Amino acid sequence: MSDTSEDLSAMTVAERRAHWESWMGAALDEARRALGTGDVPVGALVLDEAGRVIGVGHNEREATGDPTAHAEVLAMRAAAAVRGEWRLTGCTLVVTLEPCPMCAGALLQARVRRLVLGAWDPKAGATGSVWDLVRDQRALHEVEVLGGVREGECGALLREFFEARRG
């Protein structure tokens, strides 16, 4: 992971993949923090244009009783606080699970440039699986989506969490 400005277009495909896989590892670490409160283990981070982390979050719905306390929303709130404004133009959101409709809407509203996601959500995903809100032609902003980054690890963490709850 780099904390300096990087030109992704100058990287090879393999270098870009390694770059996003590294950042997904940080998002997975954040997702594991949710386990301590019984929240679904989803983690997210926001990178600014220079590749610096300016916001992190993990699911906190159970911990806070807030239905909007999804990892993505919390990470974007933190990033907006760092920037001092709501616009996250040029930023990248890295998240372990495909965003739901609420979070996809928040991505659009914040003007996030790119979404890097781990596991696809075949039940409630809104960035390419069930719905595709972030690339809908009627939206005022379009988000680049890179999916399936460390998908196996991200999916396994979620499966293990739900199996333990059902068990």
C-alpha 76/C-alpha 71 separation (Å) is: 9
Active site residue 72: yes
C-alpha 43/C-alpha 74 separation (Å) is: 10
Token pair 């990248």: residue? 92
For residue 81, what is the DSSP state? Answer: H
Name the active-site residue from 6, 15, 21, 72: 72
Residuewise pLDDT in 10s, the chain (167 residues): 444 445 777 888 889 889 999 999 999 999 999 999 999 999 999 999 999 999 999 999 999 999 999 999 999 999 999 999 999 999 999 999 999 999 999 999 999 999 999 999 999 999 999 999 999 999 989 999 999 999 999 999 999 999 999 98
- The DSSP line for 5-57 is ---GGGS-HHHHHHHHHHHHHHHHHHHHHGGGGT----EEEEE-TTS-EEEEE
Bind-site residues: 70, 100, 103
Bind-site residues for Zn(2+): 70, 100, 103
